[in-house]
Structure 1
């Protein structure tokens, strides 16, 4: 990035340039570039297999790339107070859309998760996560700083409502991420020991309940524990792709897994990258995710604004967990879960929602001074 702003520049863009974490921006842009590369590698074969034009998915994904980058950088210009206001409005809209999904949503693979709005398929669950994270962080912080304010109750109530709407779809994976965000924020805000014990017992109980009441969860767990118990074709094929790719890969366009893997452009896109570009590209992707999360957390070490700490930590937990779940599923380190790899997998809703969330991280971790500090 070239810069023309001097340190004495007091314009909005000038202050932004010298206060935002430019290393994180660079890492995010590199991650988006890798995603664009892998989309071009993986999606043409998938498009041809379903009878669409070769670059059908490529064109659709690239339509969202520029708006996602603009959204991320635009959100990063906001102050913490503006982030809170945006999150409240966004959460209300997202919850309304989530409530409409079971009634108006299209059913795909036994689940209703998408709404058709203006000719575009929107997945409200992707957008509810960053908005919930910021609002819950605000409530927990307010409860800690203002004795008597029922922030914990409000945050827990919002979590319960959002989790219920997600489970109706059903979407257990997104519910797990939401629960992790809520638990981490509650812990950082000063979780009482009794609550820590309750959550410790609730986690395994929730896993057993999900296994008993959601057939798709039971099927995936059974196949993970015993691959011969069901169809483990996608995971087995993905592992074979990594082995075939080796250290340097078979070369761009030379991969075979994308020709036979149904979700090569979404859930298993890392397998395509591993086969064509090798272990080195996979390690680069892992390093980028780790750098972004750790860099964001390091910016919080000297932060004295509890809301900023809780909201940013929650957003980074969401980002990191989503990446871990996708990669662990692809490598058969956990039961398969249909979840996009942030900024890499095909998906417009995922791309825009992640850009929104990471834009909030950039905004909240900016160095604040003067008026911006007072507006926190």
Structure 2
């Protein structure tokens, strides 16, 4: 009797999940979902090639990075599904909660965090390392959009600026110049889209430039990276030289999976320079496919923002667009020696749970906005 009840409960649960999945699949933005699955397969292929080099270097078990990356991808898929089903109120509520949590963690890291490679960016908990700034940059787009739309009068600018200054101040204490640049791009772009005056835009640009100059004087490693970019002959440009070499070696079709040499020389081949691994082993063809998929996701965000009449969704989508597009363009720019080394991860491809999960939140939010708009159009047609 007990077995029959368990069997009936299992059948009911299966039916419930089937109904949920069917509803979700009918309403979800399928091109974005296909992009996620395609880029995930590519990322697994690249991590399976670059991971063993790092594993042997730091004495880790076989397939350590591949298995962890696969776990992160499963978590990321769950997050994409959950966020894509959220309504506007839930997205705003979770964004405020996440941003508050990230600020608390950033304060803790700034004063009591453990330094890794000269910076304090990670919160260590139960054997896991979490980078709060990765999550903060995604939800900041939503919170800042809400502030600009819902807070009345000039107070909206005060609140928006205060949140931005708190975040970038905590980032500079780490220090993390790349995140400072990304938060500034998100904040400045949303204010520009909102429609602030040209004088205010010039003031923001001046503040941004002053911040960059201060970083050059205050943080020696930042100055060294910039000097290496502009004067490579007199500075250590080992990583960039090898990255460029990978593109020359790979040519059109690459030298074959697992056959790359550059990954043996680059200390961060599985994170910051994963694009270089793709170039050497799979050639320009895979690099173009990666850029096409990432560019497509960014373009979907841009076209949604461009065609959206609701101000909150417009600002949110524009913030997510600038966050995502700037992140992958900075990473690729560094790999091609078009920008100084920054340490920005390539979305969905670089190894790292924080980057992958935060980017999945961004994708889930974008899919939720598309779902809400399609539902609104159906309601109008039915009416």
Q: Common fold, TM-score beyond 0.5?
A: yes
Hey, what does 1:77 align to over in structure 2? Answer: 85
Query: Distance between the aligned counterparts of 1:207 and 1:371, measured in 2?
Result: 45
Query: How far has the Cα of 1:304 moved from its partner?
Result: 1.4
- Where is the helix percentage greater, Structure 1 or Structure 2? 2
Q: Which secondary structure does the structure 1 equivalent of 2:121 belong to?
A: strand
Query: Distance between the aligned counterparts of 1:304 and 1:349, measured in 2?
Result: 32
Query: Distance between the aligned counterparts of 1:15 and 1:303, measured in 2?
Result: 24
Hey, what does 1:103 align to over in structure 2? Answer: 111
- Asked whether the 8 Å contact 1:238–1:271 carries over to 2, the reply is yes
Hey, what does 1:205 align to over in structure 2? Answer: 210
- Asked whether the 8 Å contact 1:72–1:358 carries over to 2, the reply is yes
Hey, what does 1:31 align to over in structure 2? Answer: 39
Hey, what does 2:193 align to over in structure 1? Answer: 188
Q: Which secondary structure does the structure 2 equivalent of 1:294 belong to?
A: helix
Query: How far has the Cα of 1:64 moved from its partner?
Result: 1.0
Deviations 1:28-65 (A, max 9, x none): 22112111111111111111012222312112212211
Greater CA deviation, 46-55 or 64-73?
Answer: 46-55
Superposition misfits of 4+ residues, deviation over 6 angstroms: 371-374
Query: Distance between the aligned counterparts of 2:188 and 2:113, measured in 1?
Result: 29
Query: How far has the Cα of 1:12 moved from its partner?
Result: 6.1
5+ residue gaps, structure 1, are 1-10
- Asked whether the 8 Å contact 1:79–1:372 carries over to 2, the reply is no
- Asked whether the 8 Å contact 2:177–2:342 carries over to 1, the reply is no
Query: Distance between the aligned counterparts of 1:202 and 1:100, measured in 2?
Result: 26
Alignment pair present for 1:250 and 2:255: yes
Query: How far has the Cα of 1:16 moved from its partner?
Result: 4.0
Query: Distance between the aligned counterparts of 1:261 and 1:63, measured in 2?
Result: 25
Alignment pair present for 1:91 and 2:99: yes
State how 1:1-376 maps to structure 2 within 5 Å. Answer: 16-143=24-151, 147-148=152-153, 150-366=155-371, 367-369=373-375
Q: Which secondary structure does the structure 1 equivalent of 2:254 belong to?
A: coil
TM-score by length of 2: 0.90
Deviations 1:100-132 (A, max 9, x none): 112332211110111111221111111111111
Corresponding residue pairs, total:
361
Deviations 1:318-361 (A, max 9, x none): 11111011110111001011111011001011111111121111
Deviations 1:58-97 (A, max 9, x none): 1221221101111111111001111001101111111101
Query: Distance between the aligned counterparts of 1:42 and 1:197, measured in 2?
Result: 43
Q: Cα–Cα, structure 1 residues 185 and 52, in superposed 2: closer, same or farther, change >3 Å? A: same
Query: Distance between the aligned counterparts of 2:168 and 2:211, measured in 1?
Result: 12
- Aligned CA-pair RMSD: 1.9
Query: Distance between the aligned counterparts of 1:42 and 1:364, measured in 2?
Result: 35
Query: Distance between the aligned counterparts of 2:312 and 2:353, measured in 1?
Result: 29
Query: Distance between the aligned counterparts of 1:132 and 1:123, measured in 2?
Result: 15
Please say which structure displays the higher CA radius of gyration: 2
- Asked whether the 8 Å contact 1:104–1:115 carries over to 2, the reply is no
- Asked whether the 8 Å contact 1:267–1:338 carries over to 2, the reply is yes
Query: How far has the Cα of 1:370 moved from its partner?
Result: 5.4
Query: Distance between the aligned counterparts of 2:196 and 2:150, measured in 1?
Result: 14
Query: Distance between the aligned counterparts of 1:372 and 1:118, measured in 2?
Result: 46
Greater CA deviation, 277-286 or 187-196?
Answer: 187-196
Query: How far has the Cα of 1:187 moved from its partner?
Result: 0.7
Query: Distance between the aligned counterparts of 2:132 and 2:109, measured in 1?
Result: 8
TM-score by length of 1: 0.92
Query: How far has the Cα of 1:13 moved from its partner?
Result: 5.2
